[in-house]
């Protein structure tokens, strides 16, 4: 039996801790919690979690420093920041300190769950709670992570590395609207300093290549970003 992935939830708001741990428990994770930076470091050393959901603003410090300490001691640890700070500079700071992803408050619990799963897929040898099958599927699209191939309706689709990474990120987060900033951080890197229009350009490339074998699956959510969703869905 595959052991349940261990997730440490760090936040000084009890209602957030209760909500997040309850949902994670329901979806098959083993959870523990902490309310301060000091408790977070102690709990991580005790439980050796696979991932930490980490609030940036803590009573005795900030999550960035906790991240720096834990990243040094547990290099394979997945870290997803929770932050009320929506400025791009703050998001970049979190990822620079060693975080894997971030969710801004107030957040959708389904989005947080998707991001936890996505980070564990990258950090755990067998993807944590995800199936060992390396093939991601959405509608009639199949993406094989090990073979680095994509097929739609049985037809091979030739993609560049960046196109492949973009499609993979959209498929992992299918049904969830992703901002250009989130996509850039995940597909390009937090160090990218060019125009966010690069996302629009590569979404266009993907739409044309996938569209050769079926209807559009990458929907534009005006004012927000992009979402992988079937039309009318």
Q: Please, are residues 187 and 201 in contact by the beta-carbon 8 Å criterion?
A: no
User: Which tokens is 146 given?
Assistant: 């090990």
pLDDT of residue 127: 42
Closest by CA to 86, choosing from 116, 56, 51, is 56
Q: Is the pTM value of this prediction over 0.95?
A: no
pLDDT along the chain (233 residues), means of 10: 82 93 90 94 90 93 87 84 67 64 84 88 60 74 86 94 88 87 75 77 95 94 90 67
pLDDT at 197: 85
pLDDT recorded at residue 74? 83
- Please give the radius of gyration of the chain, using alpha carbons only, rounded to the nearest integer: 18
Query: Is 229 in contact with 216 (CB distance < 8 Å)?
Result: no
**What HEC string does 168-225 produce?**
HHHHHCCCCCECHHHHHHHHHCCCCCCCCHHHHHHHHHHHHHHHCCCCCCEEEECCCE
Report the Cα 135 to chain-centroid distance in Å: 18
Determine if residue 43 is left, alpha or beta; phi over 0 gives left, psi from -120 to 50 gives alpha, anything else beta. alpha
């Amino acid at each position: 039996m595959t052991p349940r992935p261990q997730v440490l939830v760090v936040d000084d708001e009890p209602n957030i801790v209760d909500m997040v741990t309850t949902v994670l428990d329901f979806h098959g994770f083993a959870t523990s919690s902490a309310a301060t930076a000091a408790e977070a470091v102690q709990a991580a050393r005790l439980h050796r979690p696979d991932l930490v959901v980490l609030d940036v603003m803590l009573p005795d410090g900030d999550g960035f420093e906790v991240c720096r300490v834990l990243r040094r001691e547990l290099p394979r640890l997945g870290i997803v920041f929770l932050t009320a700070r929506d400025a791009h500079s703050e998001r970049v700071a979190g990822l620079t300190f060693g975080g894997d992803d971030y969710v801004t408050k107030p957040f959708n619990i389904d989005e947080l769950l998707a991001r936890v799963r996505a980070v564990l897929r990258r950090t755990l040898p067998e993807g944590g709670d995800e199936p060992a099958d390396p093939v991601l599927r959405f509608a009639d699209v199949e993406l094989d992570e090990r073979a680095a191939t994509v097929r739609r309706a049985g037809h091979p689709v030739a993609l560049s590395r960046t196109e492949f990474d973009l499609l993979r990120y959209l498929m992992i987060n299918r049904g969830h609207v992703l901002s250009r900033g989130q996509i850039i951080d995940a597909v390009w890197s937090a160090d990218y300093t060019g125009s966010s229009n690069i996302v629009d350009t590569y979404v266009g490339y993907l739409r044309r290549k996938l569209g050769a074998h079926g209807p559009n699956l990458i929907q534009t959510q005006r004012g927000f970003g992009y979402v992988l969703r079937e039309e009318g869905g």
